[in-house]
Amino acid sequence: MDLKLGINLGFANNKYPEPHVWTRIVAEELGLKYVQFVADILNVFLPDEIIERQVEEILENTQKYGLNITSTFLSSFTRVNHFMHPDPEQRKVWLAWFKKFADISARMGAKMTGGHPGILTFNDYDDPARREEITLEGIKHWQELSWHCRELGMDCMIFEPMSIPREYANTVEETKELLARLNDGAGLPFRLCLDPGHAPHPDDRDPYRWIRELGSVSPIVHIQQTEAGHSRHWPFTKAYNEIGIIHAEKVIEALEQSGAKEAELVFEIYHREAWSSEFSIVQDHKESVEYWRRYVKG
């Protein structure tokens, strides 16, 4: 397998948003080359002149440090209903937002973009007919976006299986079903941004089953340390590795069993704003990279 290590920029949200800062940290302190850019670092609801200036700074600094933005994704602040919003007018606004985000993503060199499939309200989820209606609307919007991304020269679309039914794909079987529905009429292939650290349906919590079953259709795999039944997004430090359930050798073994030929393993580690973790963000990432470098050289 061709494995690479990358990083999701969620770690930089409101902490290191400056392009010259996060690029230096990723390249010089962490020794990584591959980046999953997140919308929270540059939300396209901002005025065009701000976006343009930021994109230019990002391109200048990624080139300076030899970084490759391989994909773009949603993040913490953009974890909203978007294509599954009950208001059709707001769904249209989000479609325009995603297209603009895709335009920027392509400029930055990304070959895939996506996020979580969408989030149903309780009111829509509790009504089976309404649930299916909104789901169909969401699929239609994702497919329209895929045709737009095809025109931009991207390779595929990606979505992330989430942890609860309202957010979609919280079991292996549901993930396969949604993947098939999205691909039926899409302009580009839909693939997964798999996160085996998620705590999905109580009967489907084996992270390695998720990788064995879905690794072959997951060009991006988020890696986080966690404990059973939770999605902690802990770093891979000695203390957390002793109590966590995500082990590098078992992840790689499961990927091999899936038939995957390649994958980008992307750190998605979060630090809450607390005295206990606020000042260890970079060091925790450095230790996490050191741990994974024993197994992944790319």
Q: What is the pTM of this model?
A: 0.97
* Residue 44 contacts residue 51 (beta carbons within 8 Å): yes
* Residue 211 contacts residue 161 (beta carbons within 8 Å): no
Q: Above 80 in pLDDT, residue 199?
A: no
Domains in the chain: boundaries: 2-294
* Residue 73 contacts residue 111 (beta carbons within 8 Å): no
Q: At what angle do helices 248-258 and 207-214 cross, to 10 degrees?
A: 30
Q: What is the pLDDT of residue 140?
A: 98
Confidence category of residue 203, pLDDT binned at 50, 70, 90 = confident
* Type and span of the H or E element at 85: none
DSSP state of 173: H
Mean pLDDT across the stretch 235-260? Answer: 98
Distance set, CA 289 to CA 27, 31, 295 (Å)? 12, 8, 10
The predicted-structure confidence for 128-176, as pLDDT tens digits, reads as follows 999 999 999 999 999 999 999 999 999 999 999 998 999 999 999 999 9
2-294 sits in which CATH class? alpha beta
Q: What angle do CA 163, 166, 218 make, to 5 degrees?
A: 45
H-type alpha helices, 197-271: 207-214, 238-243, 248-258
The predicted-structure confidence for 39-94, as pLDDT tens digits, reads as follows 999 999 999 999 999 999 999 999 999 999 999 999 998 999 999 999 999 999 99
* Residue 245 contacts residue 206 (beta carbons within 8 Å): no
Q: What angle do CA 229, 12, 169 make, to 5 degrees?
A: 35
Q: What is the pLDDT of residue 51?
A: 98
Max CA distance (Å), the chain: 52
